[in-house]
Chains A and B, each alone.
Chain A
């Protein structure tokens, strides 16, 4: 039969169900896979409402012995947590589900993400819809992840969120405390790609929260060595770094950064400014024979 007919029949059935106030029937065991896949597919495209609709039909009855329990439960918890608009009732369901995962035999990945999610719910004012935060609880949860995962992605994420929980108090001491937490994490695991995120964030804190561009520049240079977190904006970061270097009279570094903007990022809107800075520098330091790259034109 044609697809149109199916669509028509589906619309008719749904209309009748709506008309007579009937909820969708419970899912049979053999339909669980289909409904779960529907829900997960919806979640992957950020359709939290559809994901919730599908997963709420199966998860509450799903036994922990089901091989897909942890996947479905975690996905259902996310769809509850991120419902739009934020709904305290659904957030409460999410919290219970994350806790259920923690008390289950679920694999470590789900447990770590559940702990991070619980901490984030406690940390962020808009998460549970009632504007209430509990930083102490949030920190305790982040610290538990840190302890469990001293290095790697989970360790970095927990440390950075823990640091942020102090930074948000916006006192010089709390910002410093945040920086100490990040530095300790970098020391434990300096080669992970997440170290670049940590260095960049530290650089931002030094520059814009503590007004210390010298340390900020050092942090950014280390992030650059590893590979910037947001590579598509690399030229913007290089420009910012070159301006800091110039302010700090680190002329050689500034020159190198301006040259990189022109050579490595021909489409950078900072090309002209970088070249003009190089020209100014070259004219005031004629004996240094500074190379002024040509801006590529299309």
Chain B
């Protein structure tokens, strides 16, 4: 039960990745509080990986909570729903929080009544697999661990790729974040129900992976899983507390000793990985008929009262940060996601969207970049066995193709290299640049 001991052992185990300071204790004891409805929600029309959604509402239209405001823009896409009831006050264009590209944003003025569309509950045994997939798609489900890959795509593997393992990802390896941890403690039943739904689509063995620093969640999920119908197919496994254990690829490697091929997906090696919050959302969408309009968000870092909140999408970060006692003096960076892979925001008003698991307020402490001393720490910490320092060298020389030859496409941008670089080189930044430039070169 002692998380501290687990950490010590993990430090001694050989392995790639890094051991950042976890600092989860700030919020791990805070239950998920329902966050008050915001007056206005800002809903970007691209909240998933793949094709952006297609706008369906007009200015001035009255909408209900859960009403579709944008349809899926293709198969690898998901619809977006109104997260409050009220009136569409404006449709504007803004900068997408992650890609930096312009995106349509729907502003809905809340009427404060939160009137829902009619929800169609269902019982799992009455639903065919197509019904289930349709309900998941209609529910606007995407991977809520941060990557926002549309969920229905993952759960309909092509016939030539048999799936033998379903991994439920409760590792939550990023420091500070505890939203998934709290979800497991507070919505365990819904998660188990979501596992049952998934097993109807993909009848495979389920491995429920939780990092060893969350013993209470391990205990709780083992208990709930064993008493459920899917019980005998579910194994709850404590994985080492080592970043980036929660990464899809690292998890597949650790649990099954399989490697997802470069450029491939876990289903290429017979695995489907779903984040715990997504699994809970699967239950909501399939059983309750409730579309995805909210998620658990950890607010942490330089705020007075950090905590976990169930937040409607479109709620501006500022509302949450103010609710938690505002940014502390000296804070100058707001990050959506964790400190290792999170994206720093250029405005306090960036809205919470489907992939936002954490709002981290911090002070930028980055040190100036120095020259590489070839210490090779980036190489020895790289979970993908790459040579990150070479990308820096190539990027400086604009040798983008050379980056490709050194397998830059395999990089998951976990940040272990920059984290461990004594010269404070922002290696991930160079890698992102090189990847973008390489794409341009290849598309020529």
Whether A and B are associated in the same complex: the answer reads no
Which A positions have Cβ atoms within 8 angstroms of B? none
